[in-house]
Structure 1
Amino acid sequence: MNTLIIYDNEGYILSIRQGEPAPREPIGVPFLWVDIPEGKRIKVIDGIGVDTSVTPHEVILEDIPPSEVDVLEIQVADLQYQLMMNGVL
């Protein structure tokens, strides 16, 4: 889904908008339209989420860390595999 990111000249994010109908583009304020891939999120440190040191400016993305449930599911699968390999299951 297209996301409108409105930010200042230092990359400080002022607003993140998405949805239908598409939000109105601001006038006189820098903005980016970005499509955030699945499994990624905007990395914001002290409000800064846009890299303004490059041209064109780019949103800073990071991987979404696995949830506690995801981590537990992986651990259960690993334990089941180990038990199976040891002939217990």
Structure 2
Amino acid sequence: MLLSYGAANRDEREFGTDADSLDVGRNPARILSFSYGAHHCLGAAAARLQGRVVLEELLARFPDFVVDLDDMEFATGNYVRRPLNLCFSPR
């Protein structure tokens, strides 16, 4: 068994064929990002607030930006799944 944090919340059996997409409307009851119960992340509320503020500010400045998904490459590793490059431009 391999525990891969980078694969969290990307199971197509759970989230469908768009499991690898950012879906802010996804059912939070099935998302494991901040764990649950006794092990629930103490910083979860702060992280959600920061994410919301970042997205609101980004969309206020670039309301029609487009991310170039064709050239996106991801860093390899067991703990973090992040793009190596994230190119975007206003439409």
Calculate the TM-score normalised by the size of structure 1: 0.28
Calculate the TM-score normalised by the size of structure 2: 0.28
> Larger Rg: 1 or 2?
1
Q: Which has the higher contact order (CA 8 A, sep 6+)?
A: 2
